[in-house]
Amino acid sequence: MTTNDPAAMTAHWPGPEPAGSARRVYLGILGDIDNGRMVPGQRLVETELALRFEVGRNAVREAMQHLAGRGVVDLSPNRSPAIRSMDLAECFEVLDVALAMTRLAVRAAASGYGPSYGAALDLAIADLVDAAASGEAAQFSRARRGFYRTLLLIGGNRELQRLFPAIGMHIIYAQYPSPRLQGIRLADYQAIARAIAAGDPDGAEAEAIAHVAHVRAIITELAARR
């Protein structure tokens, strides 16, 4: 960790992201999913994306590879690229992985926390509160990513920083949008942050376990209504 500036800490996910024209496509697709303009299962046509983002087709292909690495785009052979879609069983598999990795992330953050990280953690929570108050799902999604970026950077585990963004929670929340779930997530993130700020790895882990259990219960309930 080379900076304690909150804005610098939360600017991007740790690890490689595309640059140049490919980055425009990469961020554009993530933003479209956040805003509901793209939905799980939607096909992605290379020529249309190139025209829309005013880039070459190579930039589109590069962005797709990065998005596939993050678990956002499905690049299955003999099929056109699509926003990833999951059945309920796969959602639960993703939640199992999310549980294991979130427990590691919050324990590392609580163990590595010190006063120099207070401003960054406070900013991450403030962004979540503002996003929840706005009622904008896209803003909350961005704030959620900022919160986890902050935890990963505080924890300092480079392998976890590399792997964490590939967890498919982005797609789960796109498939199961819910204002009620958003409120539960905000309360859970605040509880996790309090435990981290207290330097309590066991408490942070317990809150992370409860958080994933809450998400699992709401997803189960929403799926049963479909």
Task: Write the pLDDT tens digit of every residue in 125-168.
Answer: 999 999 999 988 889 989 999 999 999 999 999 999 989 988 88
* 70 or 84, greater pLDDT: 84
Instruction: Say if residue 3's pLDDT is above 70.
Output: no
Fold annotation for 86-224: Four Helix Bundle (Hemerythrin (Met), subunit A) (1.20.120)
Highest-pLDDT range among 19-28, 77-86, 108-117: 108-117
Give the containing element (helix H, strand E) for 30.
helix 20-34
Mean pLDDT, residues 175-197 taken together: 93
Domain-wise residue ranges, the chain? 20-83, 86-224
DSSP letters spanning 77-93: TTS--EE----HHHHHH
Predicted pLDDT of residue 16: 63
Predicted pLDDT of residue 76: 84
Q: If DSSP codes are grouped into helix, strand and coil, which group holds residue 43? A: strand
Give the containing element (helix H, strand E) for 143.
helix 137-155
Predicted pLDDT of residue 206: 98
Highest-pLDDT range among 82-91, 174-183, 196-205: 196-205
Percent of the chain with pLDDT over 90: 69
Q: CA 24, CA 172: separation in Å to the nearest integer?
A: 23
Instruction: Say if residue 2's pLDDT is above 60.
Output: no
Does domain 20-83 bear CATH number 3.40.50.970?
no
Q: If DSSP codes are grouped into helix, strand and coil, which group holds residue 5? A: coil
For 38-60, write each residue's pLDDT tens digit.
Answer: 999 999 999 999 999 999 999 99
Q: CA 60, CA 22: separation in Å to the nearest integer?
A: 6
Tokens found for residue 94: 């993703």
Mean pLDDT, the chain, integer: 90
